[in-house]
Amino acid sequence: MWLLSMLTAAIAPGIALLAYFYLKDRYDAEPIHMVARMFVVGALIVLPIAVIQRGVTLGLGDSPLVQAFLVSAGIEEAIKWFVLYHMIYNHTEFDEPYDGIVYAAAVSLGFATVENVLYALLMPATFGSLILRALLPVSGHALFGVVMGYYIGKAKFASGQSGKYLAASFLLPLFWHGAFDYILLVFRNYWMLPIAPFMAYLWIRGGRKIRRANDRSPFRSIPREDEIKMQRIRP
Which pLDDT belongs to residue 11? 87
How confident is the model over 190-230, as pLDDT tens digits?
A: 888 899 999 999 999 999 999 999 998 887 765 555 444 44
Which pLDDT belongs to residue 234? 47
What does the pLDDT average to over 73-99?
Answer: 94
Mean pLDDT is lowest, of 34-43, 80-89, 92-101, 217-226, for 217-226
Which pLDDT belongs to residue 228? 47
| Average per-residue pLDDT for the chain | 87
What does the pLDDT average to over 117-137?
Answer: 74
| CA dist 83 → 50, 106, 110, 114, 170 (Å) | 16, 11, 12, 17, 12
| CA dist 1 → 7, 35, 84, 120, 123 (Å) | 10, 30, 37, 14, 18
Full-model pTM: 0.88
Which pLDDT belongs to residue 230? 41
Which pLDDT belongs to residue 156? 92
Q: Is 87 exposed, middle or buried (0-12, 13-18, 19+ CB in 10 A)?
A: middle
Which pLDDT belongs to residue 128? 67
Of 113, 137, 116, the residue nearest 125 (C-alpha): 116
What does the pLDDT average to over 21-50?
Answer: 93
What does the pLDDT average to over 6-12?
Answer: 79
